[in-house]
Amino acid sequence: MGSVFKAESMPISILIVLATLAIAFGVMLYFKNKNNALDNAHRDLVGYYQECIENHRVASAARENGLNSYSFITYNLKESLLDQSIV
- Distances in Å between the Cα of 81 and the Cα atoms of 72, 76, 84 are 10, 9, 9
Distance CA 25, CA 37 (A): 18
State in Å, rounded, how far the first CA of the chain is from the last one: 98
pLDDT > 70 fraction of the chain, expressed in percent and rounded? 70
Within a domain: 12? no
- Encoded amino acid at 83, one letter: D
Within a domain: 53? yes
The C-alpha angle with vertex 62 and arms to 58 and 63, in degrees rounded to 5, equals 120
Within a domain: 76? yes
pLDDT digits (tens, 9 = 90+) for 32-67: 999 999 999 999 999 999 999 999 999 999 999 888
- Encoded amino acid at 62, one letter: A
Residue 46 structural domain:
33-81
Contact in structure between 9 and 17 (CB atoms under 8 Å)? no
Within a domain: 48? yes
54 against 71, higher pLDDT: 54
